[in-house]
């Protein structure tokens, strides 16, 4: 593990503003991390093609990775809004694509409002869309 916190009793710049951290403190800080960052990196690399960079140019690869991260964030927001914290909140992109994006529907305008009629496996739902 690497850290920029100074070890106890080691000289450091006074303007760094970091507290001293020993080995036990470093291990405790490492164990208290979020824990979902590795999952997010894996999902960006495999589900959003962030691991397959298109060229040898740093600029185009950087743009590709930024687009993969942006699409991951948009889908994460969509998951939160569309599933309302339900069962599909932590599903992978392949499952989400099968459930939501490969579903036929019809957008109907009636009485100054929009409704999305979704049909899937003999299940018919009407989803009101706010204006």
Mean pLDDT by groups of 10 residues along the chain of 131 residues:
76 67 82 74 88 89 93 85 71 78 78 76 54 52
- Nearest of 38, 32, 48, 29 to residue 97 by alpha carbon: 48
* Tokens found for residue 30: 């490492």
User: Looking at residue 95, what is its pLDDT?
Assistant: 80
pTM of this prediction exceeds 0.85: no
User: Looking at residue 63, what is its pLDDT?
Assistant: 93
Strand order in the sheet with 113-120: 105-110, 113-120, 123-129
User: Looking at residue 42, what is its pLDDT?
Assistant: 86
Pairing of strands 113-120, 123-129: antiparallel
Q: Give the span between the Cα atoms of 113 and 111, in whole angstroms.
A: 6
Q: Give the span between the Cα atoms of 94 and 86, in whole angstroms.
A: 17
């Amino acid at each position: 593990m690497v850290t920029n916190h100074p070890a106890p009793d080691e000289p450091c710049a006074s303007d760094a503003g970091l507290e001293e951290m020993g080995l036990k403190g470093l291990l405790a800080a490492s164990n208290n991390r979020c824990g979902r960052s590795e999952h997010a990196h894996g999902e960006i690399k495999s589900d959003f093609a962030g691991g397959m960079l298109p060229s040898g140019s740093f600029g185009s690869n950087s743009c590709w990775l930024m687009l993969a991260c942006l699409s991951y964030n948009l889908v994460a927001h969509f998951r939160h809004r569309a599933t309302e914290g339900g069962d599909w909140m932590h599903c992978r992109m392949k499952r989400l694509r099968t459930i939501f994006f490969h579903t036929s529907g019809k957008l109907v305008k009636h009485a100054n409002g929009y409704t999305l009629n979704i049909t899937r496996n003999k299940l018919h739902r009407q989803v009101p869309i706010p204006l």
